[in-house]
Structure 1
Amino acid sequence: MPLTREQARNHHKAMDLVAADRDLTRKEKEFVLDHYQPSASTTQALDGAFFTPREMARELATYDIGGDRPGERIIDLGAGIGRLAFEAVHADWRDREDLPLGEMVCVEKNPEYVRVGRRVLPEATWLCHDLLDAADMDLGLFDCAISNPPFGAISRSRDSAAYRPRQFEYHAIATAARVARRGIFIVPRTSVHEEHPSQRTTSCLRFTRETGIELKTTWMDADAWRDQWGGPTPRVTVVSADFHHPGLRTPNAA
């Protein structure tokens, strides 16, 4: 979808800020996050990437991602330019309740997204890698994995653990299970459940059967933010999972 004149103007302004030879203010960082347009210079459609809307990210950071102790480590798998990670790091309640993060690690394979992300969230550790490689990067165990991963049956560099679904989002969740104690994920609603969350899809049931990972539906859907995705308007839901360690079990394991 072509950018409007205003979108193009704000995108160029955002890129000027990214290129500025100085630290950015909080307001400038939020401007970049709000107005950077991935479709202006990247293969967004091929990547299957959709950037998390600001208000949705803030809602997740406030009610779902929050840790219950200071010093937690969080990894964002497929971080994009860092909107979800930014809101998790800068959630107002962290200062209010004295629960600062110990570490935020952002894994993103698109080098342009990483370049922008390092400017808006310099306090995070940015790794320019495929998120599917995270389990083999010796990063240690995280308290929480967060992800708004690429959606659907897109090409991938490898399979995750013992499961080989077509949907990329399941590979992201299976990877998270190998590096974190729990996870919060934005995924297409139709890949997890039918009209009601209790009606699991065939792919979701198979994922649980093959991996032992139970996905809990946190939200039925996120239609309140459908007009804020900046292009296509995917219908998504939010799921969470508690992971057992070490690693995933193999298929058909007892």
Structure 2
Amino acid sequence: MARITKKESGLHIQVMDLVYSDKQLTQDDKEFIFNNYKGDGIGATGAFFTPEMLAWDFILDAGCSGDCIELCAGIGRLSYYQYLRNKPSHITCVELNPEYVMIGERVLPEAEWICGDALQYSPDRSYRVAYGNPPFGKINTSEAYTGRYKGSEFEYKVIEHASKFSSYGVWIVPQGSAGFQYSGVHCYERRESQKYKKFVDSTGWSFEPGCGIDTSIYRDEWNGTSVVCEVVTVEY
């Protein structure tokens, strides 16, 4: 994890002052929080928040005016833009980290915030769209996960779990998990890794690129990492 600068640390302190204040946050305040919050322990848990314009582009695929849910919501930037652009009838944000939930409730009080494990969440409603930027890779999960996918990639577990309460999903995943290459290459190409094939064989679902968002434009805007990912859509 890259160390933050003195300036970044100062901006992070200003973010937390805003969060803990009694001030009614303006849109500028909320964007300041999204752009300058560095995570609990300043990134110690490996949280990589979605870059601003990638989050804005993402809603082209994830746009919903009905009931929608974000899993592994972080501090809520994806759902914040969902709210600004589409005014959904209901947004649920599920996030395990209590500090993220506390900040999310400040920047997006219009959403229902759930502090808990996304893989254990069982809502009492169905959603038109489920979406998110879940943690990538091999992450230990609770024994409550009982999906058909038995591999170790956390993003696939989240995507499968969402099928229990949604008919459509839109997700940010690492390029190697997408089943195709679109970002940072000359042209779209199916490129199915072994881990992707295992997910497809287990679930019967495949990923498509939606409207086509080249995420490589934003690869240097992630907090503490440089990653090529893809926005994938899935019909459950």
Q: TM-score, normalised by structure 1?
A: 0.84
Partner SS, residue 57 of structure 2: helix
Q: Which residue of 2 aligns with 1:208?
A: 200
Partner SS, residue 131 of structure 2: strand
> Among residues 109, 112, 117, which one is paired with 2:96 in the alignment?
109
Mapped to 1, the partners of 2:222 and 2:158 lie a distance apart of 20
Q: Which deviations, in whole Å up to 9, do the C-alpha atoms of 1:85-127 show, x marking residues without a partner?
A: 1111112xx3xxxxx3100100000001101111111110000
Calculate percent identity across the aligned residue pairs: 34
Q: List aligned pairs for 1:87-236, cutoff 5 A.
A: 87-91=81-85, 94=86, 100-134=87-121, 137-158=122-143, 159-193=145-179, 197-218=189-210, 219=212, 221-236=214-229
After TM superposition, give the deviation of residue 214 of structure 1 in Å. 1.8
Q: Which residue of 2 aligns with 1:64?
A: 61
Mapped to 1, the partners of 2:4 and 2:123 lie a distance apart of 40
- List gaps (5 residues or longer) in structure 1: 95-99, 244-254
Q: 1:4 is aligned with what amino acid? A: T
RMSD value over aligned CA atoms? Answer: 1.7
Q: Answer whether contact 2:92 2:111 (CA < 8 A) is retained.
A: yes
After TM superposition, give the deviation of residue 157 of structure 1 in Å. 1.3
Q: Which deviations, in whole Å up to 9, do the C-alpha atoms of 1:21-52 show, x marking residues without a partner?
A: 1321111111111110015446422xxx3211
After TM superposition, give the deviation of residue 160 of structure 1 in Å. 4.3
After TM superposition, give the deviation of residue 20 of structure 1 in Å. 0.3
> Among residues 69, 86, 93, which one is paired with 1:75 in the alignment?
69
> Among residues 231, 236, 240, which one is paired with 2:233 in the alignment?
240
Q: Which residue of 2 aligns with 1:19?
A: 20
Q: 2:224 is aligned with what amino acid? A: G
Q: 1:229 is aligned with what amino acid? A: W
Q: TM-score, normalised by structure 2?
A: 0.90
Partner SS, residue 216 of structure 1: coil
Q: Answer whether contact 2:40 2:99 (CA < 8 A) is retained.
A: no
Mapped to 2, the partners of 1:17 and 1:211 lie a distance apart of 44
Q: Which residue of 1 aligns with 2:184?
A: none
